[in-house]
A = this chain, B = another copy of it.
Amino acid sequence: MSHENFQECIDECLACLKACNYCFDSCLQEEDVKMMAECIRLDRECADICGYAADAMLRNSPFAIQICQLCAEICEACGTECKKHDHEHCQKCAEACFRCAEACRKMAA
């Protein structure tokens, strides 16, 4: 991997962590929380792996590539769920998830 991909991937993971946490918080304040249940669950999953992946890259982990592969998969799932909901926080979260998934795949390539 190039150093550029590495830095881009860290930035996308942190942006995605932020978007997922914001979406988690916002979903819990929606009128119809039940409809957002899967979104809430996946936002937490995705925030956790993004934080873990960014941390791993920042400490030069020998497993950064495998961690990013897993991160791409979870981001993809979270983005796909968020994409279904019209709320702005969900749409923005989906976008951050797909960008992060893409950056993680580039890292792992």
Contacts and interface: CB of A to CB of B under 8 A. Distances in A.
Interface in A1-60: 14, 17-18, 21-22, 24-25, 28-29, 31-34, 36-38, 40-42, 44-45, 47-49, 51-52, 55-56, 58-60
A100 interface: no
A93 interface: no
B14 A60 contact: no
Nearest to A19: B58
Contacts of A42: 62
Contacts of A51: 51, 55
A101 interface: no
Assembly stoichiometry (copies): 4
Contacts of A18: 58
Given A33-B34, A73-B63, A58 B28 contact: no
25 contacts: A14-B14, A17-B58, A21-B58, A21-B59, A21-B60, A22-B59, A25-B41, A25-B60, A28-B37, A28-B38, A28-B40, A33-B34, A34-B34, A41-B62, A42-B62, A45-B56, A45-B62, A48-B52, A48-B56, A62-B77, A63-B70, A66-B70, A66-B73, A67-B70, A70-B70
